[in-house]
Chains A and B, each alone.
Chain A
Amino acid sequence: MDALDGNAIAGLLHEVFGTEMTTATGRCGNCGFIAPVAETVVYLDAPGTVMRCRRCISVLMVVVRRAEMNCVDLSGLAALDELTAV
């Protein structure tokens, strides 16, 4: 499957965070690149959903659904702030 972007998982992110997240700003834990979540690189079938940094392609977020539950790994993000829209 093609690499998409954060817009493609707006619904999933809203489900996980309880609010609109594509305008939130993420900072890559590896290279420090700051970008709106909408501009990250997203793979829907990785398996699971994988969000990567557009500059260094490090993994920022992984969401795996198991039995009606979303398991979310945010360890690749240094920061995620919905209040500082770019």
Chain B
Amino acid sequence: MAGTAVRGRLTWQVATAGSLTDETPAVRTIELDVPDWAGHSAGQHIDVRLTADDGYVAERSYSLASAPGEPVAITVERLNDGEVSPYLTEDLRSGDAIEIRGPIGGYFVWPWQDDAASPLLLVAGGSGVVPFRSILRHRAELRIKTPTRLLYSARSLPDVIYRAELDATQDGVEVSYTLTRQQPPGWTGHSGRVNGELLREVAWPSSQQPIAYVCGPTAFVESVASGLVDLGYPPNRVKTERFGGVGGP
């Protein structure tokens, strides 16, 4: 299969790891050189496949962290009992080859061409922020004026991924953090889990016909999505993406 890319087919190909950036002690961004990359939309992902010496195969899906047009990059959080993430975050070196396929998915993609007038709400739990980096970079590069808010729930300030980049966003993007487990002295952001009260404060009023994207661990996504529906967001204006993993943001 590999090497014979048929139009429309999704084929595995070999990518080469480029620069590696440690975002937090448990999270690494990996740039990938992919020879036949067709280009991607903000919010899409790739599948990564690792094959052990004995033939055992493990596959995982990772959101693309880079904007369309930028080098392909994924940001991976290490799950200590994981089969793929410990290798990607600890053992992989620049120049190593891994198998990938993609870009994949079309649902968790921001259709800015059709929906630029609707205020955009992004709600991230933990590494659920990864596809939003792609969306925010894309928005900035194309100078899209859509009013945008990111609400990002993390365990503690050192667990915040892309903090410097998010703190530097401007031009109609408001970023708010809520820290669920530990707040530094003098913390002026939000504390605790995202609940109805916090959503009411941060989310665009439903009367402005916003569109919301929610990405994070399953329990986080369920809770935030139902909170937004309670605030009057139509369910089809709340797009969700769930991933498994650690105990939540």
Q: Which of A5, A15, A19 contacts B241 (CB 8 A)?
A: A5
How near does chain A come to B33, taking the closest CB pair, in angstroms? 20
Whether B244 pairs with A2 at a CB distance below 8 angstroms is yes
How near does chain A come to B235, taking the closest CB pair, in angstroms? 9
**Could you give, for residues 9-27 of chain B, a 1 whenever the CB lies within 8 Å of some chain A CB and a 0 otherwise?**
1100000000000000000
Interface band, chain B: 20 to 34
Interface band, chain A: 20 to 34
Q: Which residues of B contact A20 (CB under 8 A)?
A: 104-106
B47 touches A (CB below 8 Å): yes
Q: Which of A10, A19, A37 contacts B61 (CB 8 A)?
A: A10
Q: Which residues of A contact B104 (CB under 8 A)?
A: 10-11, 14, 20
Q: Which residues of A contact B9 (CB under 8 A)?
A: 18
B208 touches A (CB below 8 Å): no
Whether A22 pairs with B242 at a CB distance below 8 angstroms is no
Whether B45 pairs with A2 at a CB distance below 8 angstroms is no
Q: Which of B61, B219, B240 contacts A11 (CB 8 A)?
A: B61
B137 touches A (CB below 8 Å): no
Of A1, A11, A37, chain B has the most CB atoms within 10 Å of the CB of A11
* Chain B residues numbered 96-122 whose CB sits less than 8 Å from any CB in chain A: 101-102, 104-108
B176 touches A (CB below 8 Å): no
How near does chain A come to B216, taking the closest CB pair, in angstroms? 11
Q: Which residues of A contact B106 (CB under 8 A)?
A: 10, 20, 22-23
Q: Which residues of B contact A2 (CB under 8 A)?
A: 217-219, 242, 244-245
Whether B107 pairs with A6 at a CB distance below 8 angstroms is yes
**Interface of A with B (CB < 8 Å)?**
1-8, 10-11, 14-15, 18-20, 22-23, 36-39, 44, 86
5 more A-B contacts (CB under 8 A) besides A20-B104, A39-B240?
Answer: A2-B217, A2-B219, A10-B104, A22-B106, A23-B106
The 6 tightest CB contacts between A and B, nearest first, are A38-B107, A10-B105, A22-B107, A11-B47, A2-B244, A10-B104
A-B contact pairs, 23 of them (CB 8 A): A2-B217, A2-B242, A2-B245, A3-B218, A4-B243, A7-B108, A7-B242, A10-B45, A10-B61, A10-B105, A11-B61, A11-B104, A14-B104, A18-B8, A18-B9, A22-B105, A22-B106, A23-B106, A37-B107, A38-B105, A38-B108, A39-B240, A44-B244
